[in-house]
Amino acid sequence: MEAQKLQIQEEINILVGQLTGDMMNDMELKDQIHNLQMKLDGVRPMDSMIECEGCGS
């Protein structure tokens, strides 16, 4: 489990490194980062059938 968390964090770090500062270009990257962060924090991504406890979606 810890190895999986490290892998997710590494994916987040790579995506953060690709951010340009241009909101329009970064929207997809930020969405991917958010979904990975939710997995890391133990909440479900938006495309899940289970409601997110963290944000109440």
Amino acid at 29: L
Q: What is the pLDDT of residues 7-54, one digit of tens each?
A: 999 999 999 999 999 999 999 999 999 989 988 888 765 556 555 555
- State how far the alpha carbon of 46 is from the alpha carbons of 6, 32, 35, 50, 51, in Å: 22, 11, 8, 9, 8
- Res 13: pLDDT: 97
- 28-53 burial, b at 16+ Cβ within 10 Å, e below that, comes to ebeeebebbebbbeebbeeeeeeeee
Q: What is the pLDDT of residues 23-36, one digit of tens each?
A: 999 999 999 999 89
- Res 45: pLDDT: 54
- Res 42: pLDDT: 80
Claim: this prediction has a pTM higher than 0.75: no
